[in-house]
Amino acid sequence: MRVVLADDHQLVRAGLRALLQSFGDVQVLAECGDGAEALALVDRWQPDVLLLDVTMPGLNGLEVARRVPKASPNTRVLILSMHTGAEYVAQALRAGVAGYLIKDSAVDELRVALDSIRAGRPYLSPAISQTVLSGFLRTGDTPAERAQLDVLTPRQREILQLVAEGHGTREIAARLGLSVKTVESHRSQLMDRLGIHDVPGLVRFAIRVGLVSADRP
């Protein structure tokens, strides 16, 4: 099984790489700590599995998962996250991930998750409440703020995350290869769609819907 590893903590990546390599039948092709780089590596290596954290700088894991099928149709995404909330799991499943594993799971559970994905079966950590998840995924149960996020374009969601992370307009433009005017236009449109017209409000919204973590500097 050919794997790309994406987590923004270097020590976590080192531990995961060692664990994966100990399985014998898993090859770690590459690793990174940035969402955009994760997509580039998937496009380059076409791995069987992308092992992906949710909270990633620049482009969060859920947005990466949405874009993986276009970059590599046969790559399956296994989320590895500390987030156990139903809203995160539901967003991940809507993004098309093959599995969701909690970071404090037993070591053997990673092996089980990979075997399940290899066999074409989705995998969810037992730690995730099926009852809560089922209720959250029922039609009509999507929170209003989550529905607002869904009406944004992928580019608008990306810019929203970068704004919430504290990046300025010129920095965002340089990072995404866009003109300052284009970034300003996207930001104006997403503010109109969300009904939020100040940066602090955008930051609070991004935290509530899980685009960025509240404890991220």
CATH number of the CATH domain containing 10? 3.40.50.2300
**Residue 127 belongs to some domain of the structure:** yes
Q: Which residues on neighbouring strands pair with residue 152, listed in sequence order?
A: none
Q: Which domain holds residue 193?
A: 144-208
**What global pTM score does this model have?**
0.71
> Where would I find the H helices in the chain?
10-22, 35-45, 61-71, 86-94, 107-118, 130-137, 144-150, 154-164, 169-176, 180-194, 199-208
DSSP lists the bridge partners of residue 27 as 2
Same-domain check for residues 15 and 57 = yes
Specify whether 115 is located in the same domain as 13. yes
Per-residue pLDDT of the chain (217 residues; tens, 9 = 90+): 999 999 999 999 999 999 999 998 999 999 999 999 999 999 999 999 999 998 888 888 989 999 999 999 999 999 998 877 767 787 888 888 999 998 888 888 999 999 999 988 888 887 775 544 555 555 444 556 566 777 889 899 999 989 988 888 999 999 899 999 999 999 999 999 888 988 888 888 888 777 777 665 4
Domain final residue pick, 137, 171, 197? 137
| Single residue among 116, 137, 158 that ends a domain in this structure | 137
Q: How many domains does the structure of the chain reveal?
A: 2
Instruction: Verify that 18 and 78 share a domain, yes or no.
Output: yes
Contact by Cβ (8 Å): 64, 52: yes
Q: Are 211 and 204 in contact (CB under 8 A)?
A: no
